[in-house]
Chains A and B, each alone.
Chain A
């Protein structure tokens, strides 16, 4: 027998199919289909955890996702360990390792339990009032202690080896919840032919039919009907049924997030299966059939292990075949708890008494109790309990006074009525409305195309739920355009009509009492804490929540919110709706990070972009740097070389012989059309109509506010065709920027834009031997200085491949950039390399490119400019047309602050000691002895050791920089002050003679 409390003949599990698991090191037997909670109760284990603040012993309160107490740590192995799992939801699998949490050294003896004795000190919000002296002690002493005592489970410490999956799905009707109402809705909707997704958080459909053993639907026992109906639905082509799937969030425009738990219940999951799957569903219509959650009663010491919700005890009996005790008390304000007592009594369990705080319980249930010989104490309350690790007695007193008597019990079932689960409705931004008669918040005004049906809509009666579900299913399906199928009819019978329910503190836990009557179990919030919050001026329910932490635990107030509200309402003497309801936030139940990210990890997190020559570069031993999403070759160290060695060699080689550089990452845009030149005139500060076909020009692009946005060389291929290049990182936004203006501001221009970044591989060959290297490879283009001068472009073939050949230079050397279709990139590169290497050239990376361009004072947008720099600041006034009537940025440039004296200007900096290389980012000051905060003139934007200059060189943005030529300034670093001199930015070949080789 899998546990002494398993009752033969009860429940739906198969006795022969067992599984073993351990709890805190001890081995237990369970049945397949058990939750950890049902298996532990079957084995007589009620103490499963400790509370958050007082470390009070806690048991199993519920049989569902609302569980606040029974949180456990579940592991398959060391890396597959999950804290804070609800024992009431986690299915047992063979070999699982379960541990209790938030206790030390053991669950039975927990040192933290001392907090319970000190609890008078630890009233709500006490920490705001103390721990302020001495000042430094908060983060050194108090906070670490508090942090250590708080928290629940222990976070995983190893990378999660499991895999997660995700799907986007579309449907006409999404039905959330497969209880009576949800199944009815799904049946009706599916019958029309509409595409339906039905999801339910439990392993099997049925909802309340799990515990309600008496009802029948169409003559079948309810639970069996639910299974048969689900099977029928699942067999339909237009229906997807998802079990173990929680709808956790309802977002804009009928977008609903679902999480499907695929393998957490399996002992040996197939490797191909993901652990969980995220479904992102866009539904044309949504039907919410999310049911209700039973509330506990609020009375002194209502938290002892063995005290649980009545419906939970009924679930354990009718579904799992487990008796939660042998002599059970019931404390209720609702008829529903009676049925738990009836079922248990019929199964042979003693019912000590039903204590009903109402003077007049429902007649039907009282009559049935009498028939079964169960004592009903109407107008009585349970005012206290005893029992350390499990409840041992309840103290029952007549309402309004009396000393009361103690009744021995080993479990206590309670029900304060049912709270409709309006979480998803509220997340959809529907407005809940308070129904004073039933004391419930129910769906009011809808904000999205959804409907609530069944008990989450306040519809309690069985047949009414069925009919509401059927009507909604049909209506919603028809609203999406489906009208097939016959009308579905269902008949539900044998249901009790429940009455009753209460919210707030019960007898003995009212105002002026100091007993621990728990409202929020996990966070240890008692009725008195709510009252204290009100006393301290917290009158909004949000303040009460935040001050007491009521409803902020992992169950997010599923049990506690309404009680908290009712207690506040009573103290404030204001009606419940006037105090307000806290906002329901997603997720309904916690969702694994891994599931939310699903495939987006590792290589798929943010796929890297690689150039056509990447593999060659890898083979040559290049190191790479990340630039935007690109992997760019950074430098090519040879054996034994440091980075500086390699860069020095590459720099020397390019200027003395030549270098080959992969420039494929530069953004490229083909601008075509009769008005292309006019369009570029508006996009760039330069004039483009004067550029002749076959020539190139360096262009500056501004934002409308006048700051440098991007730059690049633009070649005019033909009258109506330009080859635009952008910075590597800027390509997408420049494209977007151009499209924006073309489509919305200048739609009259006949221009077409095409991003060609990935279509061209670009091989830069730079250096005195550049022409010699490429000459034999080029066909159809005369590349002599005269025929093909600096800043020219021609179309022809290179290595037999159609190419655009640019004569341009970002090094100050004679240079070419060979553009060939990307697929030919590596082949052409290798052909170039076969020419280059014997001539003493090298391949060089971005670091050398940076040094070489800095030697020439060429700027890099994004490094030497930062979004606050105008072309004038950057020394690029020559590139700003004075003749054009308009270009983007023309007005922004003239604003007062952009034209005033003393702006930061880009200049060169040379250190007095040529061997010192400034750190990029170093701030520059005029007076190194000024006390802090010092006046900073600007900062070093680029700084390198220049092997070719034999000294360090730098560029800097300096206030009034142009007027400071030759001035000595200072760069104060952490350990010394470096003297620098303001200089011109061109450090090599000031007359540009090397451009012609």
Chain B
């Protein structure tokens, strides 16, 4: 049942069992309008799998996934374009939905690659390609945006700017975002809800809750919990899972 109109996706006890092994199990997750949910975890912990479960890309899963929107954009972890397929950025932008030239231009400008519009996708660098992928995803003005490591290969300054952009998009489009990332330091400050994954959900909650969790410390090491101090200095309040401010921290 979905009583809350802000819920875009509801995942209950979801998992994938393949060749006698759980790729990921017991995932419970809700994605709300205007909020960013971030999945963190080591390699092979099932982050991309969880993203694909959210998108309904598996035929048979345990548990259930309910999606309450059809306006979905996806930035996959890896997109490779075959040499035989000549695609320019402008062709790629309208891959799944027709857009006005203005909309294409605006989105490319937001991610800083509007000058590449006539270039062939294969001639782009890794970072430029990621920016194009992100631009295509937001140009559609989706209600749900699933981003699987959207800033890989982007230079550090660009990385911070793109995370800022993602945050801004969730507000301006009021869309729910599922973000998968390795960059703990940036992510922890720009997200509403964190799921820490290692084959199963080992802890989840607001960034502060997760950073204090002992499972999180075990997974990412003592050093990563120092991030908490950075985080707490950056902010003077705490959010609930819905993003409401519950108390002042100062």
Decide if A and B are genuine partners.
no
Q: List residues of chain A with CB under 8 Å of any chain B CB.
A: none
Interface positions of B (Cβ within 8 A of A): none
